[in-house]
Amino acid sequence: MKKSQGTKARAPARGGRKPAPTPPLTRLVVVDALRRWVVPVLALIVGFVAFILYNAGVIEEAAAVTTVGMAALLAVLFYGLRSFLQHGMDPAIAAALVVFAVLWAAAAGYPLYRSVNPGVPLFSTELVRNGPPITLPFQNRPGRYYLAIEGHFLPPEGHVNRTAAYKLVLGHDGASDRVIQGAFSQTWGTQRVGSGRRSSIVPSLRETTLVREAINNPAGTDLTLQLTELSPGVRDGITIRLYSGGAPQWVWIVISVVALAGAIVVDAWRPKGENEGLMTTMTVATIVALILFHASSAAAPGFPQFAIAALMGTLAGAIAGTVLWRLTQPLRRYLVPRHRH
């Protein structure tokens, strides 16, 4: 009898609650990886592969810079929002973050793309030294435009550095409105090819034969352009291409301001003491870097301009972002971080 009672006491009750199922370990590992390192590692791999393919001559510099830049922007956006993935979010907050991410990506990605890829030229022609002026057709379309100026050096005689200056006169109805001056250059250097004992030093040529100038035409009237001076060492003519500046500048100013305001709101919604001001700082750094990159005089900014803009943007973002975060502290109390409740 005692043995039978002991057995019955150990038997589980039929009406008892079943233990909650444990999430599979694989799913937990995958979700944790997506929240922590998968996105930045993929961005790093994509950017590195694009840079290697460019150096191997497989893809053009414009495609490589665009790919590296987009990958960098994706990593910046991910790190700015990553802390929200570590906690449960209210559906309204999650939807607001998605809207912010789309707005931020548009405000940063499109200017980067347009800086490197100006599109199809609206007009192109050859200008001859001391030749008659040509007419740039704007067809009554006011806005901001870009002029690509390309020089053509004569075949070199030895490894000699060369510089050729040019002077253009922009005007209308026979009057001069603006003088555009610049220079093309060829610089010889050396670079090491290969590695170890099999490496060798070979001469390398760096050229700057394509320059970009911005033209503001608020009236949209046709303008004239004349090549008045061109140094020896290049062909007697230069190539001119006219590109549209894309969306009006005020549109991107408004979008950038809205994205920055959204970053301040996003940072106010973070758990207290966790990456405070991170999205604001990263947004300021990105805006500064894009302004510097877009303002480059190179017709198609490349990796040198990209590196300089990224470095200056990081320094400016660290300073200006911190200052802006502190200045907006009195306003943040009106932003209710719902996900903390």
Q: Kindly tell me if the per-residue pLDDT of 1 is higher than 50.
A: no
- Predicted confidence at residue 8, as pLDDT, reads 47
- Predicted confidence at residue 273, as pLDDT, reads 67
Minimum mean pLDDT range among 45-49, 101-105, 114-118, 287-291: 114-118
- Predicted confidence at residue 7, as pLDDT, reads 47
Rounded mean pLDDT, 216-235: 91
H-helix or E-strand spanning residue 226: strand 223-230
- Predicted confidence at residue 84, as pLDDT, reads 82
- Predicted confidence at residue 130, as pLDDT, reads 86
- Beta-carbon contacts of residue 51 (< 8 Å; ≥ 6 apart): 64, 68, 303
**Domains, in order of start, for the chain:** 25-118+249-340 (no CATH), 123-244 (2.60.120)
Q: Of 276, 132, 320, 164, nearest to 230 (Cα)? A: 164
* Alpha-carbon 191 to chain mean position: 29
Cα(97)–Cα(100) distance, rounded to whole angstroms?
5
Q: Which residue has the higher pLDDT, 236 or 36?
A: 236
Cα(35)–Cα(27) distance, rounded to whole angstroms?
12
pLDDT band at 174 (very low <50, low <70, confident <90, very high): confident
How would you label 292-308 residue by residue, b for 16+ Cβ within 10 Å and e otherwise?
bbbebeebbbeeebbee
Map tokens 């999205």 to a residue: 279
Residue 211 in tokens: 């320059």
- Predicted confidence at residue 44, as pLDDT, reads 92
Task: Give per-residue pLDDT as tens, 5-34.
Answer: 444 445 444 555 555 555 566 766 665 656
Q: How many CB atoms lie within 10 A of CB 323?
A: 12
* Sheet of strand 210-217, all strands in order from the earlier edge strand to the far edge: 123-128, 237-244, 143-150, 210-217
At 170, give phi and psi (nearest 5°).
-105, 130
Q: Kindly tell me if the per-residue pLDDT of 338 is higher than 60.
A: no
- Predicted confidence at residue 70, as pLDDT, reads 95
Which residues sit opposite 227 in a β-bridge?
168
Considering the chain, what is the average pLDDT of its residues? 83
Cα(31)–Cα(23) distance, rounded to whole angstroms?
11
Q: On the CB side of 302, how many CA atoms lie within 13 Å of its CA?
A: 12
- Beta-carbon contacts of residue 152 (< 8 Å; ≥ 6 apart): 209, 234, 235, 237, 238, 239
Residue 224 in tokens: 């004239």
3-state secondary structure of 60: coil
pLDDT band at 203 (very low <50, low <70, confident <90, very high): confident
Q: Of 63, 74, 43, 52, nearest to 116 (Cα)? A: 63
Q: Kindly tell me if the per-residue pLDDT of 100 is higher than 90.
A: yes
Rounded mean pLDDT, 229-236: 88
Q: What is the pTM of this model?
A: 0.74
**239 neighbors 227 (Cβ within 8 angstroms):** no
Task: Give per-residue pLDDT as tens, 278-335.
Answer: 899 999 999 999 999 988 766 678 898 999 999 999 998 889 888 888 888 777 666 6
Q: Kindly tell me if the per-residue pLDDT of 337 is higher than 60.
A: no
CA triple 116-104-261, angle to 5 deg: 130
3-state secondary structure of 203: strand
pLDDT band at 195 (very low <50, low <70, confident <90, very high): low
Task: Give per-residue pLDDT as tens, 235-270.
Answer: 888 999 999 887 787 888 898 999 999 999 888 887
Task: Give per-residue pLDDT as tens, 44-98.
Answer: 999 999 999 998 889 998 899 999 999 999 999 998 888 887 766 778 888 999 9
- Predicted confidence at residue 192, as pLDDT, reads 74
Cα(111)–Cα(105) distance, rounded to whole angstroms?
10
Residue 258 in tokens: 């809205």
Q: Kindly tell me if the per-residue pLDDT of 139 is higher than 50.
A: yes
